[in-house]
Chains A and B, each alone.
Chain A
Amino acid sequence: MSIQTSVAGTSAKSTSLLQAVFAVALGLFIVGFVGFSHAEVVHNAAHDTRHANAFPCH
Chain B
Amino acid sequence: MFRSIVFSAVMVGIVSGIAVSLIQMVGTTPLILSAETYESAASVGHDHAPATEAPLAAPPVAENSTSHSHAAGTAAHEHAQGHDQEGHDHGGHDHGAGWTPADGLERLSYTAAANILTAIGYALVLSGLLAVASQSGLAKTIDWRTGLFFGLAGFASVMLAPMVGLPPELPGSPAGDLGARQIWWLSTAFATALGIALLAFRRDAVSAVAAIALIAAPHAIGAPLPPDGEHALAPLGLERQFIVAATLTSLLFWALLGSLSGLLMQRFEAAR
Contacts and interface: CB of A to CB of B under 8 A. Distances in A.
Contacts of B182: 36, 55-56
Nearest to B127: A23
Contact of B117 (A17, A20, A30, A51): A30
A20 B99 contact: no
Interface in B110-137: 110-111, 113-115, 117-118, 120-129, 131-132, 135-136
B73 interface: no
A34 to B, nearest CB: 5
B101 A54 contact: no
A57 B173 CA distance: 10
Given A35-B118, A36-B57, A44 B124 contact: no
B178 to A, nearest CB: 6
Interface residues of B, number: 76
A34 B5 CA distance: 20
Interface residues of A, number: 43
A11 to B, nearest CB: 13
B102 to A, nearest CB: 11
What are the 10 closest A-B residue pairs judged by CB atoms, nearest first?
A27-B124, A30-B121, A32-B57, A23-B128, A24-B128, A46-B114, A56-B181, A20-B131, A27-B125, A31-B121
